[in-house]
Structure 1
Amino acid sequence: MAPPYSSGGQSYGSYGYGYGNSYRQSSYSHRRKDSDSTSLMEDIRAAVANGVRWSWRFWNERGRHMVLAALVASARRLRRNLTYNRLFSIPHLLVAIWVLVLLWGERWTFHTKVESCRWDKWENWPAGADPHHLVLVADPQLIDHHSYPGRPWFVNDLTFLITDNYLRRSYNQLISQLDPDTIFFLGDLFDGGREWKTAHGDFRDAEWAPHPKSEQKYLKKWNKKYNEFYWLKEYARFGDIFMNPWVKASRAPGAEHKRRKLVASLPGNHDLGFGADIKIPVRNRFEAYFGEGNRVDVVGNHTFVSVDSVSLSAEASPIAQKHDLRPVYKPTEHFLLDIKRLKRRAVEKELRVQRGEEPELKFNHRIENLESANFDDKPFLGKGAPELPTILLTHVPLYRPEGTPCGPLREHWPPAKPPAGQTDPVFPDHRNAISVSRGYQYQNVLSEHHSVSLIEKIGNVVHAFSGDDHDYCEVIHAANQKNVPEITVKSISMAMGVPTPGFLMVSMYNPLDGNGQPLLGDKQPTLQTHLCLLPTQLTTYIRYVLFALLCIALLTVRALLVPVLHLTPFALPEDPWSWSGGGKSGPRRGGFLLPVFKTKVEDYEEYSLPSGGGFGGTSSSRLAGLSATASRSGSTTGSKKEKGHHHHSRRSSHSHSGKTTGGGGGGKWGWGGPKIEIPSDNDDEGYGGHGNVNGYNSGGGYDGGKWKAAKKRGPSSTGPRSAASLVITELWTTLFRVVWMALVVFGWLAYQG
């Protein structure tokens, strides 16, 4: 007999099912092709809705109770901490001292160091003089990911934070206390400025200037991750540390009348590279944001000539004989060929400003015939401008013979002691001198040819200042360099290998008459310099370590004396009014694990546990009832023990061994959850190691059918707790309190900058 709904051995039901399935599959595929984005948004909305429903349900059932319990516990703990004996205790006294130590190391020491360099403490000008105050800052060299490529990211970030804060604090004190009229940066503003890929131009390494082997493995990552956008973030970082305080000080009341100037356009080898290794796109980017590296400024009636010496050095490179490096060094050469005219023009503009005239000349407006017009009668600045004392600024120091000593203010090595009867410095003194050497992307001094050429072309150079070396060096050059004195300025950064950073202060006084002629006598000095030293960060950290060791020693002695002299312990006793599970000594205090859902309330009138010992089924409800009744702290009367004889019998049958033995498996855990251990009559210690055996009445908790709060433990009440345990607890508690509070203060100071 054929099956129902069939024809010819083929089932309609089967056919219908197959057809329907095929239809649904084709329809689903069609929907996926037409509305993938709609389905995705529906899935996202459904996931968000489910998350909201689950969160709301959790909040209604348990979340709000947990939050409330946490707030109550926190408030109780705060109240217990805010007592006279705890607030004015030795650990908190040490915290107060730590606050003073950290404020000194992170704030006040910078103020003290810069304050000792005030202008009036070292200037020596005639009475009534009004000198121009200038500060030279060398090699801030902001640390970046190029500086320590092998370090973990969190170590690098911590290094950035510490070094930036050192620069910020030093510079802020420089601005606020010294209030200079002018600041010149002497190059190396960044540490890896030459390494970050430009948005335009060819950034590939030249064939003659490959990266050293130690950096080859990082090049792919640098070129991919650290690009123009990264350099712009470094530029903003520099502006935040150095530019913003200057702008803020310029807007302060009383500063409107001052002519202030900040110049940071002089490039260093870490900004561009050195010589033949410079990439033109890198230099174009630097000059677009900081200005031309070659420039003339008249400041304090002195002419400052800034020279891009790292680009100029490409002309003396052996590579220049094989490859065309003119795009690198020609701009500086053209600048030097026209330097004397540029100097006169700058002096004339400055004098016109001082006389209250327009700084630029105006052409006479007249109508002339083209055939008779006189094109030679063109006004121009500088025709009869006087020559002011000229100061040369270069990132790379001028040439000097090997072993030329740098003087007693050099920190790397003091000068060698001369033999008996000799008054001149020891020469050569290689340890006290700048090394005459070169390497990848650096050269310690300029070539002798370029040094002599610079002095001759610029003319009337009375002083030169340079950077690059990171340490102080003061020399007087040879006769072929016109005996020009030069000071190499210390780095202002703590990460440049010199323990004591610093900056150079220059006081200039050169009064002029209306025509620009000097009012001082001939050969009178017009500038004075002073090296201002900043805090030694290593010394600050050593002080932190020594004080930390002293704190550990004091807290250790105190912890040892607590059980001996019966001192009040700093560690708080456990809170008897909270619950955090069970243990061998009974219910523990200090948690938020009270049941927060409705349970069965049958059979819990007596404060006993069922035979199961677990948290499942009826046992769970009884334990919930026990916990709920415990919160009333023993308010239930003893008459309840007389209700229901079967309850009393059940409790007694399980109280001999002190442990529950009911079903659900052996050990500490039953089928329904952790077993609750009930102390037996033979136990010699109750809750918290005190008092009554069955009732925990000394330590708080269950006491013969009643729950009681813990008795206040006296200073000398240690119970069976060993003296060693008390000492360890006290030492750990006090150390932890001092450490975390000191770290919070240090973190806040670091965050504030």
Structure 2
Amino acid sequence: MARPGHNGYGYPVSASSPSPYQPATSSSSASHRHYSAGTPFGDDHTSPCDDITAGCTAVFSRLLAYLKGPGLQAAMNLAARAGHQLRRNAVRRRLLSFPHVLVALWMVLMLWGERWVFAGKVRDCDWHHWEHWPPGAVPHRLVFVADPQLIDPHSYPGRPWPINPLTMRITDNYMRRGYTQLQRILRPDSVMFLGDLFDGGREWKTAQGNFDEPEWAKGHRPAHEQKYVKQWNKKYGEEYWLHEYERFGNIFWDNWRLGGDAPGPGQRGRKLVTSLPGNHDLGFGAEVKIPVRDRFIAFFGETNRVDVIGNHTFVSVDTVSLSAETSQVKDKEAVQKIYQPVDEFLKDVKAVKRRAVEKELRFWRGEIEELQFTQKVEELDSADFKGLPTLDRGSEAVDFPTVLLSHVPLFRPPGTPCGPMREHWPPAKPPKGQTTPVFPDHRNAISVSGGYQYQNVLNEADTLKLIDSIGNIKHAFSGDDHDYCEVVHSPKQESIHEVTVKSLSMAMGVPTPGFQMISMWNPIDAKGKSLAGDGSEVPTLQTHLCLLPSQLSTFMLYAVLGVLTVIILAARSFLVPMLGLQPFALDPNAPSGQSAVLPVFKAKSEGAEDNYNNGYAMNSSASSASSSASKSLSAARTSRTRGASISNAPGGSGSTAAYGNARSSSPKRKQQQQQRWGWGNGGRGPRIQIRRDATAYASNQGPSSGGWRPAMRGGAARARWQLVQVWREFWTTCWRVIWMVLLFFAYLTWKG
């Protein structure tokens, strides 16, 4: 039989709907048969948007009703339960417990590995520890940073989403911490970058210009990158490159002022130069994309430039574009546009050097640096342009010692050793009696080779062109190789002393990153002549390699401490039951308050409360008519049968009646007994406390836990109880240490 208000077919009957047992009225019939013209639906038909709105409103109403009713109650229960757990944990005994001591040890170690060790390493490189200048010298202090090469999707294209962003974050933090300490502790007067600012800068599509590879260059890309090209061109473009540009600025430009605004004593000012490009920024040789280079110049400055710093002339050359001139396709028109700007720069670089030196001398003499022209009106045909003032004094001009900056190292014969400070491979041990390094030493040398979008060293022709065009090169600094290499070139290359600077990044295949420190002191007179003598006799430049901490060693230290932590916690867990130590794990059977989401009490059987109440009333009336002798006997029986089942109460036996009388004779005892058995208010029947009753037999912790347990018989039961306690103690302490340590590491990573 269907319930009232139900039509028997699965849907309710509304008040306005006609009953199947009553004839429909004409009005209702008409209302069901009337249709709008031009539509198959009635007048009350709604549009799909109205249906969607009504559905969303209904869902929202139900959700709101749930949040106000059961949802609110569940949230309050969870909050109460969390508060109860917090109160159980926020006591001195637990806050000063052994696992928290290990957490404190971990925090100190991570502060050292993620913060303090950087300051210690940089402090060991302080200028006064290695500079050797005459008393009273005021040198200009400069730092070279090579190959930061910010990690991006191009670096590890096969890595999944969580790993790749984490790698980017960790490598950025490493460079930020090292560079921050560099500025705070060393406070250099100038900082210059040696290229490869980004790892995939050449891969991100430009907003303007032709980004496609030429026909002759297609197929050069390695197979493992080829399958990602379409994805990179579609997903990573101008906006992503701008994001990388901002990321670079957050690491290096934002921390530039940590070194102070004022220059050092006797210095003209602080300078930061980041315009030298690398092959990962533009590409290499004939495969450099001109729109990519134009974008780089627009944001970082001219790639070919001359700077006078510390009475030395620094010449930065875009050697990745210069290499296109010696490529096999150098005669193609598109390739000529690649090397033409650097070729024109090298043709005029000596005059540019002379003008830059003259401007520097004018500044120190207190003169106006710029040229002053006389104002007069002349006819264009008769104007004399030969006598115009100029900063270029020609052969009479002085020339400061020149320092060449190139991303790609200069040419050297294959197997030229890099010296003992190279980390990849130490130099080969020379034979007995030989004092010079072993040559060739291919393991210790930079490989003279190349590949797609890279070349380890410049061609010999490009190297000689640089040396002849610039002139007076005393030192050269380069990057690209990621490891340290120090070479004195052959007399054919004017015996240039070249240093290839280590990468600052921890992800460039070199365990110990670093940077190069330069100290320059070249006192001059008013005409620019050096007072220190010839640079070949008295060096005007000193250099020092500063090594940052090995992040791999730090991670290994974390791993060792992690293993020791697990071993220590396991040993302590075994000692807790054996030596009776204070356990860290909370007793799961201890009262947890009324904070559970689900009910924890259940009546033993339906009607148990009523049956008990009736039996209890009968026993009370029977006991009031008993004699004093029977009261004494009943009391004695009650003391012997206190643990008996209460289900015998309705039987009305003498012992049961006496038991009821004993309970009624002591209200306080009655209340205690009711609380002991978990009875409800008002003498309600017995209940089973599900959580305690179910777990009491399972945990079996023994009398020290505070709960009631079944008797344990034999050594097997005791051993099983000890193993359960050991496992719970081990798991609880390990989990506490793990989540607190990981949370602190995540905080340090997030803060940078």
Q: What band does the TM-score fall into relative to the shorter chain?
A: 0.7 to 0.9
Alpha-carbon deviation of 1:87?
1.8
Q: What is the match of residue 353 of structure 1?
A: 363
Alpha-carbon deviation of 1:374?
2.9
- Residues 307 and 64 of structure 1: CA distance in aligned 2, closer, same or farther (over 3 Å): same
Structure 1 distance, partners of 2:442, 2:508, is 20
Paired letter, 1:481: Q
Q: What is the match of residue 556 of structure 2?
A: 542
Q: What is the match of residue 7 of structure 2?
A: none
Structure 1 distance, partners of 2:79, 2:618, is 39
- Residues 173 and 13 of structure 1: CA distance in aligned 2, closer, same or farther (over 3 Å): closer
| CA displacement 1:524-566 (0-9 Å, x = unmatched) | 2110000001111111111111111111111111001111101
Alignment map for 1:60-459 (pairs within 5 Å):
60-210=68-218, 211-251=221-261, 259-321=269-331, 324-368=334-378, 373-383=383-393, 385-459=397-471
Structure 2 distance, partners of 1:640, 1:557, is 57
- Residues 650 and 280 of structure 1: CA distance in aligned 2, closer, same or farther (over 3 Å): farther
Do 1:690 and 1:719's aligned partners in 2 also have CA atoms closer than 8 Å? no
Alpha-carbon deviation of 1:357?
3.1
Do 1:578 and 1:592's aligned partners in 2 also have CA atoms closer than 8 Å? no
Structure 1 distance, partners of 2:452, 2:171, is 25
Q: Which deviates more, 241-250 or 520-529?
A: 241-250
Paired letter, 1:558: R
| CA displacement 1:323-380 (0-9 Å, x = unmatched) | 6411000110000000011111111222222233332213222344556543333222
Q: What is the match of residue 705 of structure 1?
A: none
Structure 2 distance, partners of 1:330, 1:281, is 15
Alpha-carbon deviation of 1:472?
0.6
Structure 2 distance, partners of 1:521, 1:363, is 36
Structure 2 distance, partners of 1:165, 1:568, is 41
Structure 2 distance, partners of 1:257, 1:465, is 22
Paired letter, 2:337: P
Paired letter, 2:166: L
Structure 2 distance, partners of 1:684, 1:328, is 78
Alpha-carbon deviation of 1:161?
1.1
Alignment map for 1:467-616 (pairs within 5 Å):
467-522=479-534, 523-574=537-588, 576-578=590-592, 591-594=596-599, 608-611=603-606
Instruction: Indicate the structure (1 or 2) with the bigger Cα radius of gyration.
Output: 2
| CA displacement 1:589-622 (0-9 Å, x = unmatched) | 8733259xxxxxxxx9xx8444399xxxxxxxx9
Is the partner of 1:462 in helix, strand or coil?
Answer: strand
Do 2:478 and 2:498's aligned partners in 1 also have CA atoms closer than 8 Å? yes
Do 2:189 and 2:269's aligned partners in 1 also have CA atoms closer than 8 Å? yes
Structure 1 distance, partners of 2:543, 2:59, is 69
Q: What is the match of residue 734 of structure 2?
A: 735
Q: What is the match of residue 726 of structure 1?
A: 725
Structure 2 distance, partners of 1:495, 1:129, is 38
- Residues 483 and 640 of structure 1: CA distance in aligned 2, closer, same or farther (over 3 Å): farther
| CA displacement 1:222-254 (0-9 Å, x = unmatched) | 110011111111111111111110145445899
Are 1:642 and 2:616 counterparts?
yes
Q: What is the match of residue 745 of structure 1?
A: 744
Do 1:689 and 1:699's aligned partners in 2 also have CA atoms closer than 8 Å? no
Are 1:58 and 2:75 counterparts?
no
Is the partner of 1:563 in helix, strand or coil?
Answer: helix
Structure 2 distance, partners of 1:431, 1:691, is 68
Is the partner of 1:430 in helix, strand or coil?
Answer: coil
Structure ranking higher on relative contact order (CA contacts 8 Å, 6+ apart): 2
Is the partner of 1:303 in helix, strand or coil?
Answer: strand
Do 1:689 and 1:720's aligned partners in 2 also have CA atoms closer than 8 Å? no
Alpha-carbon deviation of 1:575?
6.4
Structure 2 distance, partners of 1:652, 1:449, is 113
Alpha-carbon deviation of 1:151?
1.0
Structure 2 distance, partners of 1:684, 1:500, is 55
| CA displacement 1:368-409 (0-9 Å, x = unmatched) | 455654333322223254211100000000000000001111
Do 2:696 and 2:707's aligned partners in 1 also have CA atoms closer than 8 Å? no
Paired letter, 2:102: L
Alpha-carbon deviation of 1:63?
3.3
Structure 1 distance, partners of 2:497, 2:318, is 20
How high is the TM-score relative to the length of structure 2?
0.80
Structure 1 distance, partners of 2:478, 2:215, is 30
Alpha-carbon deviation of 1:76?
2.2
Q: 2:35 aligns with which of 14, 20, 24?
A: 20
Percent identical residues: 52
Paired letter, 1:359: E
Structure 2 distance, partners of 1:678, 1:505, is 73
Structure 2 distance, partners of 1:684, 1:71, is 23
Structure 2 distance, partners of 1:223, 1:203, is 9
Is the partner of 2:216 in helix, strand or coil?
Answer: coil
- Residues 462 and 198 of structure 1: CA distance in aligned 2, closer, same or farther (over 3 Å): same
- Residues 91 and 258 of structure 1: CA distance in aligned 2, closer, same or farther (over 3 Å): farther
Structure 1 distance, partners of 2:168, 2:402, is 38
Structure 1 distance, partners of 2:590, 2:696, is 17
Paired letter, 2:129: K
Is the partner of 1:319 in helix, strand or coil?
Answer: coil
Are 1:461 and 2:440 counterparts?
no
Structure 1 distance, partners of 2:151, 2:75, is 44
Do 1:347 and 1:382's aligned partners in 2 also have CA atoms closer than 8 Å? no
- Residues 145 and 643 of structure 1: CA distance in aligned 2, closer, same or farther (over 3 Å): farther
- Residues 471 and 720 of structure 1: CA distance in aligned 2, closer, same or farther (over 3 Å): closer
Structure 2 distance, partners of 1:684, 1:347, is 87
Do 1:609 and 1:651's aligned partners in 2 also have CA atoms closer than 8 Å? no
Q: Which deviates more, 514-523 or 252-261?
A: 252-261
Paired letter, 1:136: F
Is the partner of 2:518 in helix, strand or coil?
Answer: strand
Alpha-carbon deviation of 1:214?
1.5
- Residues 562 and 419 of structure 1: CA distance in aligned 2, closer, same or farther (over 3 Å): same
Paired letter, 1:411: E
User: Where does the alignment leave 5 or more consecutive residues of structure 1 unmatched?
Assistant: 1-10, 580-588, 596-603, 614-621, 626-637, 654-675, 701-709, 711-717
Is the partner of 2:405 in helix, strand or coil?
Answer: strand
User: Where does the alignment leave 5 or more consecutive residues of structure 2 unmatched?
Assistant: 1-25, 620-645, 652-686, 710-716
Structure 2 distance, partners of 1:315, 1:379, is 35
- Residues 97 and 18 of structure 1: CA distance in aligned 2, closer, same or farther (over 3 Å): same
CA RMSD of aligned residues (A): 3.5
Is the partner of 2:255 in helix, strand or coil?
Answer: helix
